[in-house]
């Protein structure tokens, strides 16, 4: 007889009943989790996966439903409006992502350093307020901000040499303007998210760094930022997906400026024109599929570099 058999008491009926009860409880929790997840899965299939598959099918077929290979993609790429739209969206996304990732992280770290609880809560609330205005309503507000004749920051606009609304929204300024709009509406929510992520860092780790003589900057660089890597990657992925769908901002500005901002400025606008102005749904689907491929590729990059699915 082994030592383990001598030292381990025999399992009686009570112990067996407890093990069976734990197994049943665990199985019940797993079943309940499937119920909670099922709602999201059904909605994702109905409004995400199936429309995507339908768009992929349309992008490789003609209007009659026959297979056309890459003809739709070639026609869209050869369109004189396609590459300018690509450049516009790429410039906007690059400026916005860099500003968002850097400034949101820095602001969240600064708010996290505020020791007074009511002051910290108040600052986070102020940051979050612009997020209440989204989409077209935010753009309408910015129509007044960008007009030097009525803007509350007209002094800043005049300092940059902008004396009229048309000068402010000239095509060369639009990537920066759209990036500022997107940052103003979306940064507050991400600051709150990053603040919550900072609160999840064990206090013992930060206390150990303080005892070792690490200051605020060294603690942020060597402890907080590495432990925020997954959250920063998540923010980059979600923001990238939203940024490539640029549509509302240039469309409203185009209508307000009477064509100073072109109605084919972004890829989403171009897809809209293909679908509803030229009655070319297959070409519009091709643009959507190309956007999807680029977004997924960049998202995979952020997932891999950020270790989003790695276990701690």
71 burial via Cβ count (<10 Å: 0-12, 13-18, 19+): middle
pLDDT (0 to 100) of residue 135:
65
CB atoms < 10 A from the CB of 74, how many? 12
Q: Encode pLDDT of 87-144 as tens digits.
A: 999 999 999 999 999 999 999 998 888 877 888 788 887 887 777 666 667 788 888 8
Domain count, the chain: 2
Contacts of 285 (CB under 8 A, 6+ apart): 55, 56, 58, 59, 72
Q: What is the pLDDT along the chain (312 residues), one digit of tens a residue?
A: 444 444 444 455 555 555 555 555 666 677 788 888 888 889 999 998 999 999 999 999 998 889 999 999 999 999 999 999 999 999 999 999 999 999 999 999 988 888 778 887 888 878 877 776 666 677 888 888 999 988 988 999 999 899 989 899 998 899 999 999 888 888 888 988 898 899 888 888 888 888 888 888 888 888 899 889 999 999 999 999 889 999 988 988 888 888 888 999 999 999 999 999 999 999 999 999 999 999 899 888 888 887 777 766
Could you tell me which residues are beta bridge partners of residue 67?
61
Domain presence at residue 194: yes
184 and 299 co-located in one domain: yes
The whole-angstrom separation of Cα 295 and Cα 279 is 26
Residues 203 and 227: beta-carbon distance below 8 Å = no
In angstroms, the Cα distances linking 147 to 164, 168, 189, 251, 263 are 6, 7, 27, 17, 20
90 and 37 co-located in one domain: no
The whole-angstrom separation of Cα 123 and Cα 129 is 10
pLDDT (0 to 100) of residue 133:
66
25 and 151 co-located in one domain: no
The whole-angstrom separation of Cα 283 and Cα 70 is 10
10 and 124 co-located in one domain: no
19 and 90 co-located in one domain: no
What residues make up the domain containing 239?
Answer: 80-306
For residue 278, the domain's CATH number is 1.10.3720.10
DSSP code of residue 260: S
148 and 260 co-located in one domain: yes
Domain presence at residue 209: yes
Q: Give the three-state DSSP class for 183.
A: helix
Residues 220 and 105: beta-carbon distance below 8 Å = no
Domain presence at residue 37: yes
In angstroms, the Cα distances linking 179 to 51, 57, 97 are 29, 33, 8
97 and 238 co-located in one domain: yes
Domain presence at residue 300: yes
126 and 91 co-located in one domain: yes
47 and 122 co-located in one domain: no
**Mean pLDDT across the chain:** 85
178 and 249 co-located in one domain: yes
Domain presence at residue 69: no
């Amino acid at each position: 007889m082994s030592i383990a058999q001598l030292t381990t008491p025999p399992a009686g009926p009570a112990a067996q009943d407890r093990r069976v009860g734990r197994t049943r409880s665990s199985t019940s929790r797993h079943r309940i989790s499937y119920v909670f997840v099922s709602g999201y899965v059904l909605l994702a299939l109905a409004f995400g996966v199936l429309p995507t598959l339908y768009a992929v099918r349309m992008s490789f077929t003609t209007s009659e439903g026959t297979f056309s290979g890459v003809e739709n993609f070639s026609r869209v790429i050869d369109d004189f409006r396609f590459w300018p739209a690509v450049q516009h969206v790429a410039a906007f996304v690059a400026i916005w992502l860099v500003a968002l990732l850097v400034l949101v992280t820095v602001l969240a770290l600064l708010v996290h350093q505020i020791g007074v609880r009511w002051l910290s809560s108040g600052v986070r609330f102020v940051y979050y307020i612009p997020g209440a205005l989204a989409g077209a309503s935010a753009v309408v507000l910015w129509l007044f901000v960008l007009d030097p004749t009525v803007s509350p920051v007209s002094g800043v606009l005049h300092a940059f040499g902008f004396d009229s609304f048309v000068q402010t929204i000239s095509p060369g300024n639009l990537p920066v303007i759209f990036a500022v709009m997107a940052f103003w509406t979306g940064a507050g929510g991400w600051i709150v998210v990053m603040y919550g992520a900072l609160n999840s860092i064990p206090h013992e780790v930060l206390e150990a760094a303080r005892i070792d003589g690490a200051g605020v900057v060294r603690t942020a660089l060597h402890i907080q930022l590495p432990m925020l890597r997954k959250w920063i990657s998540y923010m980059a992925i979600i923001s990238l997906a939203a940024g490539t769908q640029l549509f509302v901002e240039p469309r409203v500005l185009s209508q307000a400026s009477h064509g100073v901002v072109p109605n084919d400025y972004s890829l989403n606008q171009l897809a809209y024109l293909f679908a509803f102005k030229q009655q070319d749904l297959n070409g519009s689907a091709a643009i959507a599929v190309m956007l999807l491929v680029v977004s997924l590729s960049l998202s995979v990059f952020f997932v891999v570099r950020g270790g989003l699915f790695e276990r701690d």
